[in-house]
Amino acid sequence: MHRMFTDFVSMLFPEYCLMCSGPLERGEESICIHCKYNLPVTNHHLSSSAEVLQKFWGKVPLRYAWAYLKFTKQGNVQKVLHKLKYNGHQQIGITLGHWYGHELSAASLNKEFDFILPVPLHPDKLKKRGYNQSDTFAKGLSDSMGLPWYQNVLQKGTFNETQTNKRRLERWQNVKDVYCVKDATVIANQRILLVDDVVTTGSTLEACALTLVEAACKEVSIATIATA
């Protein structure tokens, strides 16, 4: 009965793919199967590519650094990330986390981590937006990798200006003293997968990773939805 009602509602108010705007079929979430198989995946976790990792060479020690998708100006990835970040479509982050988590688990890489931490938002920005887009990706990864994720272990303090349009040095100066660990005993000697939506220069992730290293975690790795 519930499925019949759901199907009836879907006929009256169909959901649409957030990439191509076509109607979603039963079982599809946010992005249709056609668009899923046309995503510009990087396969970083299956190759020896250091595209993301090299952003952090000489700055912070990382075990792994991957991005699921390739970000291009005006491309579909930019479109859905904008909807995730600014239009309230939290399911996009969860769905992409599910998909990437399944790929990482298929390569047995879920065994390389103890838990997942999202890059945090300042409380004022979190209150205004209502959610942390990086946290939605972390939740999807957690579900599909069978790993715990914690929202409040890594926290953001001093409010800093947006990173958009800043140069590399300006970005680093803008974030270097912003992050803190709420309870260092939680991360002591742990292998952490730190996640964010997009990696550009890497300044924010670098600051977060250094905070975790200084708090005596065993290893830090990075996974993002996309790399610019």
User: What are the 10-residue block averages of pLDDT along the chain, 228 residues in total?
Assistant: 42 72 89 94 92 95 97 93 94 97 98 98 89 97 98 77 52 64 94 97 93 96 96
Q: State residue 26's pLDDT score.
A: 86
Q: State residue 23's pLDDT score.
A: 92
Asked if 164 and 174 touch (Cβ cutoff 8 Å), the reply is no
CA atoms of 143 and 29, how far apart (whole Å): 15
State the burial class of residue 198 (Cβ atoms within 10 Å of its Cβ: 0-12, 13-18, 19+). buried
Q: State residue 8's pLDDT score.
A: 38
Q: State residue 11's pLDDT score.
A: 41
Asked if 56 and 202 touch (Cβ cutoff 8 Å), the reply is yes
**Per-residue 3-state assignment (H helix, E strand, C coil) for 117-161:** EECCCCHHHHHHHCCCHHHHHHHHHHHHHCCCECCCCEEECCCCC
pTM: 0.86
CA atoms of 195 and 134, how far apart (whole Å): 6
What domains can you pick out in the chain, each with its CATH number? 40-227 (3.40.50.2020)
The contacts of residue 3 (CB under 8 Å, 6+ apart) are none
